[in-house]
Structure 1
Amino acid sequence: MSPQEKAGSGPAKAEICRAFSETADAYIIYGNMTDPDLYYASRFLASDSFTYILLASGHEILLVSEMEKNRALKESCVRDVRTTGEYDLRKKAAACRDASFGYAGVIEELLQKENVRKAAFPYNAPAFLYEGIRTGKAGIGVTLAKSPFLKARSIKSEEESACIEESMRGTEAAMEAAIDMIRKAGVRDGFLISPGTDRPLTGAEVLTEIDRVLTEHNDLGDETIVSCAEDSADPHGKTYGPLRAGQPIVIDIFPMNKRSRYFSDMTRTVLKGKASPELTKLYEAVRKAQEAGIAAARPGVTCADVHNRVCDVLEEAGYDTIRSGATVGFIHTTGHGVGLEIHEQPGVYDNDHVLVPGNVITIEPGLYYPGLGGIRIEDTVIITENGCRNYNKAEKVFEV
């Protein structure tokens, strides 16, 4: 079963329907290609907004513009494709002198004809659509509901895993290119010198190289992190200016593959030159904590089990952790789910979510101390029947 077919049938769809059918007759998503639930449900991409409707019976409807109908029939996993023209969108928009409320009238008519008495919308539903249905003449009730797709999305199929793998190959190539720039850089007056030039190597220059390699692999990076020295003491700090020798450089790359829409995520921390004993100890503690977290990630254990194992290793090494309420040291969660969003379920922190085969999570402990800097190491793994498999193959070397 291809990713384009995944959401359209089978046990996952039945469970999705059960998640909302006790409170509504239909679940409605309005959005465009940036909405992960909409893509997961329909496997259709369009820059203009369109609507997916899942009836409690399991029947799916895709509502698109006339221009997109033929493409939707070819590309979407939804077989019942309808157009706004079939429901007189232009006439409705003219009657209320508002295109958005005219569109709400289209949805209202469609729901009424499908005998929907109450419709559920996601938390981020547009107000015009929610209010348009709520105040409409058809008397259809409305409610907000947590996405019923989140659990299904958290368990990846083999095809989805392959999509993440494809994205990761570009991520690792970009990481290799970035570290190679740092490795080949010269050093002058405590700053890195760009290879083959007489000017400082900057974080901006490394980011440009990362983007170049990602583009070659059909990956799209956004908010990539290159963070050096004091900036690295902030988990999401960034350094655009000159990079320093003898200081940690955190590189965090998490692009989306433009073909599949699936993300990957990895972080490495490197240092040009010789690290101080204090930084070396910091790095080794993070490395061992990450190894322990990966070893703990297997089916049947909770996210809290994995998170606590990471905290145990760091605390045993003498460092502060979020578990004790620290504001320095390990101050974030151990990881997060990865898929059609860079951050999705399950979150790897102090919670009772039980890991199951198909969960894709990051293991990314870090230590951050103002005045010293920060270290983070991150891999993405998929839970298997017997443990987990690491998507990452790139080595972990501190001094380069």
Structure 2
Amino acid sequence: MTSTKVPIDISKALESHKSDSYLMVGNSNNADIYYATRFFASDEFAYFYTKDGAETILVSDMEKGRAEIESRVSDIRTLQGCDYRSKVKERKDPALAYCDCLAEILQKEGARRVAVPRNFPYHVAQTLKEEGFSIEAIKSPFAQLRSRKDPSEIAIIKKVQDACNKAMKAAAEMVRKSEDVEGVLNYHGFALTSEMIRKEIDITLLEHGCEAESTIVAGGTGSANPHWEGTGPLRANEPIVIDIFPRSKRERYYADMTRTVLKGEPSEKLADMYEAVLAAQKAGTEMVKPGVKCSDIHNTVCDVFKERGYDTIREGSNVGFIHSTGHGVGLEIHELPFVGNSDVELEEGNVITIEPGLYYPDVGGIRLEDLVLVTSDGFENLTEMEKKFVY
């Protein structure tokens, strides 16, 4: 993503906790740090936000030039600028010397009461406390900001979902081209396995600048476990749940999609389950617009299942529909807003999944998942892939 200098405002969070500064330490695998800085670095660096809106990052000397080009934060300081080497000699401990650098910057900014995220490094917090700072771990002030995507973020997510769509089509095509050989799907002379389909998904995503971990290709009764990745040969006449949640290698944003496919003839039970999931997803998706409560969408989905005779999590069941209806997607695969038993209202710019499913251990699982953008007056479904059960 091209960095911007548009300011971030988390001053209200600092004010509510009577804090002088907000401090994060980590690398760009931390979604909040990447969101705040737009700087991609695998090595640890620090981000400071003061109550007057000033932002600073502390990086290694080697990263200074790149940070000046890429980061949205203009005030870039280096460890050597904080006399890090001398501090290491004095402390005889690089970790303590690093904390001294953080303390020096905080002192120069007049910050004594420091808010930090709840996953802040314990050792750093303890050392700063010993140096006279008050440290309070608070709820992320960035989570709500991140939930509302701007046009540039939406464009990236659409691009990633397009790659996801291509990967899903490639996976479904492998199932379509397979043959039933004594109950096992056979693809080009070999038993078709979950691993083979995952490999094809990975290759397709890499060709489009994306990557994925823990992709689900779960066949048979094992698909009744919603997050089982799946392994081994896939069988005819059994459901195959394929859940792909890729991330852009460059811009770090996720997309998400699930389809359930079957080669052969589904049982009457599986066919009915699929139709119920399809109807529940349609009902939930059509409710999406600003101001609608997430809990209302979730309850509508549960109502559809109950009307069709299926168990739901709302009644405490551990079979049937056993998870929430969806979740936000962005720099994390699961982020705000969560579409479940929550009275949070959808806002324009939210990107959410609608992914009802049914799971019965003696039959298998069915899940359908689309990625949906909340627009000013409704929604835009970002998911192109058709919903076809039997191939």
Letter of the 1:179 counterpart: A
Maintained 8 Å contact 2:27/2:44: yes
The answer as to 2:104 corresponding to 1:113 is no
How much does 1:3 deviate? 5.7
Counterparts of 1:192-203 in structure 2, within 5 Å, are 192-194=185-187, 196-197=188-189, 199-203=190-194
Once residues 397 and 274 of structure 1 are traced to their aligned partners in structure 2, the CA distance between those partners, rounded to angstroms, is: 13
For 1:332, which of 300, 323, 326 is the aligned residue? 323
Question: Which residue pairs with 1:172 in the alignment?
Answer: 165
Once residues 169 and 304 of structure 1 are traced to their aligned partners in structure 2, the CA distance between those partners, rounded to angstroms, is: 29
Letter of the 2:371 counterpart: T
Provide the aligned length of Structure 1 versus Structure 2. Answer: 390
Letter of the 2:67 counterpart: A
Once residues 55 and 379 of structure 1 are traced to their aligned partners in structure 2, the CA distance between those partners, rounded to angstroms, is: 39
The answer as to 2:41 corresponding to 1:46 is yes
For 1:349, which of 340, 349, 366 is the aligned residue? 340
SS of the residue 1:381 aligns to = strand
SS of the residue 1:142 aligns to = strand
Counterparts of 1:1-400 in structure 2, within 5 Å, are 4-5=3-4, 8-9=6-7, 13-14=8-9, 16-23=10-17, 24-136=19-131, 139-194=132-187, 196-197=188-189, 199-400=190-391
Once residues 152 and 344 of structure 2 are traced to their aligned partners in structure 1, the CA distance between those partners, rounded to angstroms, is: 24
Among the aligned pairs, what percent are the same residue?
Answer: 47
Maintained 8 Å contact 1:379/1:390: yes
Letter of the 2:76 counterpart: V
How much does 1:240 deviate? 1.6
Once residues 22 and 169 of structure 1 are traced to their aligned partners in structure 2, the CA distance between those partners, rounded to angstroms, is: 41
Once residues 212 and 322 of structure 2 are traced to their aligned partners in structure 1, the CA distance between those partners, rounded to angstroms, is: 25
CA RMSD of aligned residues (A): 1.0
Maintained 8 Å contact 1:3/1:160: no
Letter of the 2:15 counterpart: S
How much does 1:88 deviate? 1.3
Once residues 110 and 121 of structure 2 are traced to their aligned partners in structure 1, the CA distance between those partners, rounded to angstroms, is: 23
Maintained 8 Å contact 1:134/1:140: yes
Residues 145-167 of structure 1 deviation map (CA, whole Å, 9 limit, x = unaligned): 11100110000001100010010
Maintained 8 Å contact 1:225/1:236: yes
Once residues 347 and 222 of structure 2 are traced to their aligned partners in structure 1, the CA distance between those partners, rounded to angstroms, is: 37
Maintained 8 Å contact 1:20/1:145: no
Once residues 53 and 198 of structure 2 are traced to their aligned partners in structure 1, the CA distance between those partners, rounded to angstroms, is: 46
Once residues 317 and 258 of structure 1 are traced to their aligned partners in structure 2, the CA distance between those partners, rounded to angstroms, is: 42
Are residues 381 and 3 of structure 1, via their aligned partners in 2, closer, same or farther at CA, if it must alter by over 3 Å?
farther
Once residues 224 and 155 of structure 2 are traced to their aligned partners in structure 1, the CA distance between those partners, rounded to angstroms, is: 34
Once residues 206 and 69 of structure 1 are traced to their aligned partners in structure 2, the CA distance between those partners, rounded to angstroms, is: 42
Letter of the 1:192 counterpart: L
TM-score by structure 2 length? 0.98
SS of the residue 1:81 aligns to = strand
SS of the residue 1:397 aligns to = coil
Residues 105-142 of structure 1 deviation map (CA, whole Å, 9 limit, x = unaligned): 11001101111021111011111211111101xx2211
How much does 1:243 deviate? 0.1
Letter of the 2:141 counterpart: P
How much does 1:296 deviate? 0.9
Residues 263-298 of structure 1 deviation map (CA, whole Å, 9 limit, x = unaligned): 000000000011111100000000000000100111
Maintained 8 Å contact 1:17/1:148: no
Maintained 8 Å contact 2:284/2:354: yes
Give the 4+ runs in structure 1 shifted more than 4 A: none
How much does 1:317 deviate? 0.6
Once residues 72 and 379 of structure 2 are traced to their aligned partners in structure 1, the CA distance between those partners, rounded to angstroms, is: 30
